[in-house]
Amino acid sequence: MRQWVDRPIEIRNLFNPAFCGLVLFRALAGFHSRDAKGMPFSLSLLVLPLCLQQSSREILQRGNRSYFLKVVADHPELLVGFCKRCTDVLPFTFEALGLLMHLDTLVVSPDGRLLPGRAGVRKTISGSDESKACQRVAAFLGKEFAQIADRGTIYTTLGIRP
Domain ranges of the chain: 4-116+123-157
Whole-number percent of the chain with pLDDT over 70: 99
Task: Return the number of other C-beta atoms located less than 10 Å from residue 86's C-beta.
Answer: 17
The residues facing 107 across adjacent strands are 115
Comparing 125 with 110, the larger pLDDT belongs to 110
- Reported as a single tens digit per residue, the pLDDT across 28-77 is 999 999 999 999 999 999 999 999 999 999 999 998 788 999 999 999 99
Q: CA–CA separation, 39 vs 29, rounded Å? A: 9
DSSP E strand stretches across the chain: 39-40, 106-108, 113-116
User: In terms of Cα–Cα distance, which of 124, 115, 107 is closest to 142?
Assistant: 115
Mean pLDDT value of segment 130-135: 92
pTM summary value: 0.91
**H helices of 15-53, where?**
17-34, 41-52
Cα–Cα distance between 143 and 43 in angstroms, integer? 12
